């Protein structure tokens, strides 16, 4: 295992990418499996006109936004700085 | 309520004419700037992050998602929303795993990346088979959809509709290349997002801008069941399989991947996926309102009587809340939507035929700029003609499964090889090649044996393979084949070259 700055950065990028990918998959397939296995739970009303299923569906879309935003922020600050340092 | 849908009227035709004139003007402007292959395939790599974000959204949001999902929600309530969610979740994956490495390692097609440190000819041939399969099935689905929709919306005969779409799209791609395609996609995305937002606002205005009041009204009229999971997802394995294909297929669609070459660098590619995810997610959230709005304001019977699939829900809703002028506008937006998607597909198919197969396989990478452009244009004419012919051949047939098939092939043939070539140093030429071929072949065979083909289309009583979407089997299979074949016969030279690829993946061209 070498410890050149480029390898360290590649490993960091790989870790962030995998963690966020796994998070997105857990949230999305969690939702799908709930739809498949626990329909009564998702049919519960959380407010007049809003079932838990609809709320969670909207939250999956919002999760996709948030995870994407986290990655862009991480890359814009940490990753780009490290790359700029290495180019010099 | 009587609808003027399907009867040509002045306002609809005026909107239609405005869009055609505007997009052809863009094409004329783009044609003057298209001088090299970098312009033709990659818009000169000068597209900004916001522009590419809009163009990605314009390339991805097809008429199927605008009209189809709104209709599905209008007719089946909550179950339709499962699709709204599924179509978005691939975008974060594109962001985390694909966009930046692709921009740094490739030039025009995703095969550039897979072939980067492997042997060019076998990898490009295998990648072309997968790409062309995805593009063909996706194009057939779009052309047949275009024929049906345009004859419903404007009252044109099916064949004329297919020929008009094919002809106009050919003009964009042939003369304006990626520059014209990009701007048509941007205009379409702005029109679609604007039109859908305006429609949602007009609906919400009737419910004191409270979406929950709209949903509650739907539950009062059609029963509480419309807000709850129904019969759409009965088999959990099928649901996960479709979900997997939608998610990973998005990250393997050749026409989407190609767009990352139009931006100047990896940083811009990253930002453009951020914009695309925001726009596409916003659009799918709007489908909640449009679908339930059509259910309450237009009524299920009125929607189903015009088209049993519910595709006319959004246009009917536009007429219901905004009258004939708004209907005309939404119909023109649906037309623009189809054109932008088929143009993107045709351009990526042409890039595969000319850049991957002609230049890098038949000519061994040695073809001058003039020849490359000429071959790209011949390939464009070929693909546009083929799509018109196939569109007419498949008239009246059920082609809804073809979009699912295209996503399943993209997820099984393109995604595993692409991801492994980026992240796994021991991938070999034979491993990548076997993975792409097995991914394509197994997907096509399993779809042919699935209930979709065997029961729904061939009217057999049972199917040999239980899943409607084979992703759950074919995606892991493609990964296993790639890893197994690579480990069986390691190629040290290709592994050594991974260091070079890894360096360029992070730093770009130095």
Cβ of A72 within 8 Å of Cβ of B503? The answer is no
DSSP code at position B225: G
Exposure string over B163-198, b if 16+ CB within 10 A, otherwise e: bbbbebbbbbbbbbbbbbbbbbbbbbbbbbbebbeb
Residues in chain B: 510
pLDDT at A1: 45
Residues from chain B that touch A20, judged by Cβ atoms under 8 A, are 92, 96
- E-strand ranges in B414-466 read none
Return d(Cα B92, Cα B17) in angstroms, integer: 37
Sign of CA dihedral B306, B326, B169, B51: negative
Whether the CB-CB separation of B258 and B109 falls below 8 Å is answered with yes
Task: Return left, alpha or beta for B366; rule: phi > 0 is left, psi -120 to 50 is alpha, else beta.
Answer: beta
**Residue B118 vs residue B307, higher pLDDT:** B118
Q: Closest Cα partner for B439 from B472, B418, B464, B414?
A: B414
DSSP code at position B366: -
Q: Closest Cα partner for B88 from B263, B314, B306, B273?
A: B273
CB pairs under 8 A between A and B: 145
Q: Which of A34-48, B126-140, B289-303, B468-482 has the lowest average pLDDT?
A: A34-48
B440 has pLDDT over 90: yes
Structure tokens at B218: 């739907």
Whether the CB-CB separation of B113 and B504 falls below 8 Å is answered with no
Residues from chain B that touch A35, judged by Cβ atoms under 8 A, are 82, 229, 233, 239
Q: Which of A25-29, B185-189, B254-258, B467-471 has the lowest average pLDDT?
A: B467-471
Distance from CA of A1 to the nearest CA of B (A): 13
Q: Closest Cα partner for B67 from B377, B351, B341, B290?
A: B290
Mutate to test the interface with A, among B78, B90, B96, B496 (most CBs of A within 10 A): B96
Strand-strand pairing, A45-47 and A50-51: antiparallel
Whether the CB-CB separation of B374 and B380 falls below 8 Å is answered with no
Give every CB contact of residue B492 below 8 A, 6+ residues apart in sequence.
none
Instruction: Quick: pLDDT tens for B364-411.
Output: 888 898 999 999 999 999 999 999 999 999 988 777 788 889 999 999
Domains contained in chain A, number: 1
Return d(Cα B265, Cα B260) in angstroms, integer: 9
Distances (CA, A) of B230 to A40, B46, B467: 10, 47, 19
Instruction: Quick: pLDDT tens for A1-16.
Output: 455 888 888 889 999 9
pLDDT at B417: 97
A57 has pLDDT over 70: yes
**Which residue of chain B comes nearest to A19, CA vs CA?**
B96
Q: What's this model's pTM, rounded to 2 decimal places?
A: 0.94
pLDDT at B2: 62
- A47 forms beta bridges with A50
Mutate to test the interface with B, among A17, A47, A63 (most CBs of B within 10 A): A17
Give every CB contact of residue B341 below 8 A, 6+ residues apart in sequence.
B58, B59, B60, B62, B63, B142
B178 has pLDDT over 80: yes
DSSP code at position A47: E
* Rounded average pLDDT over B142-159: 86
Exposure string over B366-392, b if 16+ CB within 10 A, otherwise e: ebeeeebbebbbebbeebbebbbebbb
**Residue B10 vs residue A49, higher pLDDT:** A49
Indicate the average pLDDT of chain B.
92
Domain B10-507, CATH 3.90.440.10 — does that match?
no
Return d(Cα B44, Cα B183) in angstroms, integer: 13
Give every CB contact of residue B376 below 8 A, 6+ residues apart in sequence.
B37, B40, B41, B177, B350, B351, B354, B355
Domain that holds residue A41: 5-87
Most confident of A74-88, B51-65, B275-289, B387-401: B275-289
Whether the CB-CB separation of A55 and A46 falls below 8 Å is answered with yes
> What is the domain partition of chain B in residue ranges?
10-507
Confidence of residue B236 (pLDDT cuts 50, 70, 90): confident
Whether the CB-CB separation of B89 and B246 falls below 8 Å is answered with yes
Give every CB contact of residue B496 below 8 A, 6+ residues apart in sequence.
none
Q: Which of residues 264-293 of B touch A (CB under 8 A)?
A: 267, 270-271, 273-274, 277-278, 281, 284-285, 288
- Looking at beta carbons, which pairs linking B301-307 to residues 24 or more positions away fall under 8 Å? B302/B1, B302/B3, B303/B71, B303/B74, B303/B75, B304/B75, B306/B3, B306/B5, B306/B6, B306/B152, B307/B71, B307/B152
Helix or strand (DSSP H, E) at B170: helix B158-205
Helix or strand (DSSP H, E) at A45: strand A45-47
Q: Closest Cα partner for B178 from B410, B345, B357?
A: B345
Whether the CB-CB separation of B196 and B51 falls below 8 Å is answered with no
Cβ of A32 within 8 Å of Cβ of B233? The answer is yes
Q: Closest Cα partner for B109 from B425, B359, B368?
A: B359
Task: Return left, alpha or beta for A49; rule: phi > 0 is left, psi -120 to 50 is alpha, else beta.
Answer: left
**Which residue of chain A comes nearest to B210, CA vs CA?**
A49
Q: Closest Cα partner for B301 from B290, B291, B313?
A: B313
For a pLDDT cut of 70, what percent of chain B falls above it?
99
Q: By the CB < 8 Å criterion, does A12 face chain B?
A: no
What is the ipTM for the molecules in this complex?
A: 0.94
């Amino acid at each position: 295992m070498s410890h050149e700055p480029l390898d360290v950065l590649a490993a960091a990028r790989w870790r962030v990418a995998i963690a966020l990918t796994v998070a997105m998959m857990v949230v999305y397939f969690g939702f799908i499996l709930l739809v498949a296995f626990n329909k009564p739970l998702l049919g519960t009303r959380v407010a007049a006109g809003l079932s838990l299923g609809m709320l969670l569906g909207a939250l999956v879309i919002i999760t996709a936004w948030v995870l994407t935003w986290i990655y862009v922020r991480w890359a814009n600050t940490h990753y780009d700085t490290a790359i700029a340092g290495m180019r010099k | 309520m009587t609808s003027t849908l399907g009867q040509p009227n002045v306002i609809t035709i005026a909107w239609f004419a405005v869009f055609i004139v505007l997009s052809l003007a863009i094409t004329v402007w783009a044609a003057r700037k298209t001088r090299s292959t970098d312009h033709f395939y990659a818009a000169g790599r000068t597209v900004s992050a916001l522009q590419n974000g809009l163009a990605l959204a314009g390339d991805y949001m097809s008429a199927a998602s605008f009209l189809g999902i709104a209709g599905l929600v209008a007719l089946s309530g909550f179950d339709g929303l499962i699709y709204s969610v599924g179509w978005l979740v691939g975008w974060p994956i594109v962001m985390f795993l694909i966009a930046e490495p692709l921009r740094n390692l490739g030039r025009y097609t995703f095969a550039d990346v897979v072939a980067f440190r492997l042997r060019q000819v076998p990898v490009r041939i295998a990648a072309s088979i997968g790409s062309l399969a995805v593009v063909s099935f996706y194009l057939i689905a779009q052309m047949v959809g275009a024929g049906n929709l345009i004859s419903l919306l404007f009252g044109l005969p099916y064949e004329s509709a297919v020929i008009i779409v094919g002809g106009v799209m050919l003009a964009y791609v042939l003369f304006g290349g990626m520059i014209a395609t990009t701007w048509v996609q941007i205009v379409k995305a702005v029109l679609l997002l604007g039109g859908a937002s305006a429609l949602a606002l007009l609906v919400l205005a009737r419910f004191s801008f409270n979406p929950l009041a709209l949903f509650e009204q739907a539950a009062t009229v059609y029963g509480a069941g419309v807000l709850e999971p129904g019969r759409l997802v009965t088999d959990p394995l099928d649901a996960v399989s479709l979900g997997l294909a939608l998610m990973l297929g998005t990250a393997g669609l050749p026409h989407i991947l190609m767009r990352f070459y139009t931006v100047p660098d990896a940083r811009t590619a990253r930002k453009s996926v951020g914009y695309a995810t925001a726009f596409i997610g916003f659009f799918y959230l709007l489908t909640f309102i449009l679908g339930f709005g059509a259910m309450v304001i237009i009524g299920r019977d009125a929607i189903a009587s015009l088209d049993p699939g519910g595709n006319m829900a959004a246009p009917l809703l536009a007429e219901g809340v905004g009258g004939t002028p708004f209907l005309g506008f939404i119909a023109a937006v649906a037309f623009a939507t189809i054109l932008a998607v088929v143009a993107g597909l045709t351009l990526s198919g042409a890039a595969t035929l000319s850049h991957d197969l002609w230049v890098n396989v038949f000519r061994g990478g040695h073809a001058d700029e003039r020849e490359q452009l000429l071959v790209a244009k011949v390939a464009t004419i070929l693909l546009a003609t083929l799509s018109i012919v196939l569109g007419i051949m498949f008239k009246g047939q059920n082609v809804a499964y073809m979009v699912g098939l295209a996503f399943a092939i993209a997820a099984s043939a393109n995604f595993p090889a692409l991801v492994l070539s980026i992240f796994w140093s021991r991938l070999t030429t034979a491993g990548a090649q076997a993975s792409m071929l097995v991914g394509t072949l197994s997907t096509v065979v399993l779809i042919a044996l699935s209930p979709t083909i065997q029961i729904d289309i061939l009217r057999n009583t049972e199917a040999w393979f239980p899943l409607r979407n084979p992703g759950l089997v074919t995606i892991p299979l493609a990964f296993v084949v790639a890893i197994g074949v690579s480990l069986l016969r390691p190629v040290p030279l290709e592994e050594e070259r991974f260091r070079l690829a890894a360096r360029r993946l992070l730093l770009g061209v130095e």
